[in-house]
Structure 1
Amino acid sequence: MSKLNVLVANELEDDDVLQQILQKCGYEVAVLNLNGLELSEVVNTLNPDIVILNLYRPENTVLRQVIAINQHRQAVPVIMFAEDQSTDTINKVIKAGVSAYIVDGFEAKRIKAIVDIAMARFKEQQALKRELEKTKNRLEERKDIDKAKALLIKTQDYSEEQAYHALRKLAMERSLTIGEMAKNVLAMADLLHQNSTQ
C-alpha cells in the first residue's frame, strides 16, 4: 500500500515535532508555513491525501480556505490542531467542513488514530454529499418530466399516460434518459416560444 501524503500547514514557527511524529507513522510529509499561504491553490497543486493545519486559532481567512478545499472536485480531509476551544470557534470549524478539530495538542500515540478517524469521517461525509446530490438531481429530473408531460398534454391533447409514453419512446429512440429527453422538449418549446414572439 502506498504511503499517505500529508500536507502540514504550520502557523507555529520552528515546530517540527508534528512532522517527526507523522514521519514515524510512515506518512510522506510536506510542511509549509501557513502565514500568507493560499491553501486551496497549494492543495490543488500538491494533491495531498490529507491536510493538517497546526495553528493558534482558526481565523476566518483559514476557514474560508478550508471551505474552498471542500468545494473542490478533489476535496481532501482536513485536520486542525488549535488552542481555541470556544464553542463559537468549534461551530465555525465544523461548518467549514473540518474532519477533526483537536484542541489538546498532539501526543505521538494518538496521531495515527486521529488521521484514520478523520479519513473515515471524510469518506462518510463525501458519500452523504454524493447521495444528497443524486436525490437533488432526481427531484430536478422529476420536475422536468412533469413539465414536459404537461406541455405535451396541452399541445398534443395527450392524456398523462400518453404524454409519458411519448417521452419514453422519444428518449429510447435517441438513446437518452427520460429526464434528458424532457429537458430537450422543454428547451425546444422555449425556442419555439421565443421565435413566435419575435
Structure 2
Amino acid sequence: MKNAIVVVDDDPIIRMDIREMLEEGGYFVAGEAKNGEEAVELIARVKPDLAIMDIKMPLMNGIKASNIIRKLQQDTSVLLLTAYSQKELVKEAREAGVAAFLVKPVSEVDLLPAVEIALSQKEKMDSLKQDIKLLKQSIEERKLIEKAKGIVMQTFALNEEEAYAKMRDVSMLTRIPLSKLAADILRDGTQTLSVSAQGG
C-alpha cells in the first residue's frame, strides 16, 4: 500500500466507486467525508497525502474546503471532481491551490493518472520545503560561525583566516561540528577551544 488518500463526495456510490478504483491501484484510502466541513475535519485529523473532493457539496463546497485545507494542512494535495468544466471553476480551483482537476463521471483510466500527477506535485513541494529548511539551517549555522569567529579573532588577536583555521582544527580534533563549536564559544567563551582541544 502507498500514499494515504481521503475521498470526499456527497454521493456515497461515487465515494465507493472511487475507493474501489484507488484500492485496486494500490492506494490506501484513509477516510471518507460527505461534505466540505467533514473533509476539513477529517484531513486535519488523518493528514493524508491527497484529498479527492467533489466541488458541488452541501454545507461547504470543494473549492472553499480546498482553501481552508491549504491554510490548515499544506501538505495535503487536492484533486477536485466536478460535473462541470466551466472556466471560472478551473480558475477558482487553481487559486485555491488545487493540484489537479477531473470532470465526472470519473473512470479508472482518468483517475489513476490524475492521482499520480497530484502526488508527484506534492512530492516536489515537499522536496522544495525540505531544501528551504536546510538552506535556512545552513544560513543560521553560518551566522553562528561568523559570530564565534569574531570572538576568536578578538581574544587571540588573529586575522579572519587564522581564527577560522583555529576553530576548524579544534572541530576536527574533537569531532564536534563547527556549528556546535561556534554555539559553545558564543555560550561559554573561547575557553571552549582549549577545553575541547584538551578533551580531544
Superposition TM-score, scaled by structure 2 size: 0.70
Matching of residue 33 in structure 1 with residue 34 in structure 2: yes
Aligned twin of 1:6: 5
Kindly report which structure 2 residues correspond to 1:7-26, keeping only aligned pairs within 5 A, or say none. Answer: 7-10=6-9, 13-25=10-22, 26=24
Per-residue deviation, 1:5:
4.0
Counterparts of 1:126 and 1:32 in 2: how far apart (Å)?
A: 25
Q: What's the C-alpha RMSD, in Å, of the aligned pairs?
A: 2.8
2:49–2:122 Cα contact (<8 Å) kept:
no
Counterparts of 1:35 and 1:105 in 2: how far apart (Å)?
A: 18
1:25-54: CA deviations, max 9, x gaps?
41443312344332443224xxx4432222
Q: For residue 125 of structure 1, what is the amino acid of its counterpart?
A: M
Point out where structure 1 has 5 or more consecutive residues left out of the alignment. 190-198
1:33-87: CA deviations, max 9, x gaps?
344332443224xxx443222233422x6423333322xxxx4433233566263
Cα pair distance change 1:7/1:149, threshold 3 Å = same
Per-residue deviation, 1:128:
1.8
| SS of structure 2 residue aligned to 1:126 | helix
| SS of structure 1 residue aligned to 2:118 | helix
Per-residue deviation, 1:112:
0.6
Mark the structure with the bigger radius of gyration: 2
1:18–1:106 Cα contact (<8 Å) kept:
no
Instruction: Judge which range, 116-125 or 13-22, deviates more.
Output: 13-22
| SS of structure 2 residue aligned to 1:16 | helix
Aligned twin of 1:67: 71
Cα pair distance change 1:182/1:40, threshold 3 Å = farther
Matching of residue 148 in structure 1 with residue 148 in structure 2: yes
Kindly report which structure 2 residues correspond to 1:80-119, keeping only aligned pairs within 5 A, or say none. Answer: 80-81=80-81, 85=89, 87=91, 90-91=94-95, 93-94=96-97, 98=98, 100-102=99-101, 104-108=103-107, 109-119=109-119
Counterparts of 1:51 and 1:104 in 2: how far apart (Å)?
A: 16
Q: For residue 180 of structure 2, what is the amino acid of its counterpart?
A: E
Per-residue deviation, 1:188:
2.9
Q: For residue 153 of structure 2, what is the amino acid of its counterpart?
A: I
2:55–2:80 Cα contact (<8 Å) kept:
yes
Point out where structure 2 has 5 or more consecutive residues left out of the alignment. 190-200
| SS of structure 2 residue aligned to 1:164 | helix
Matching of residue 128 in structure 1 with residue 125 in structure 2: no
Counterparts of 2:105 and 2:67 in 1: how far apart (Å)?
A: 21
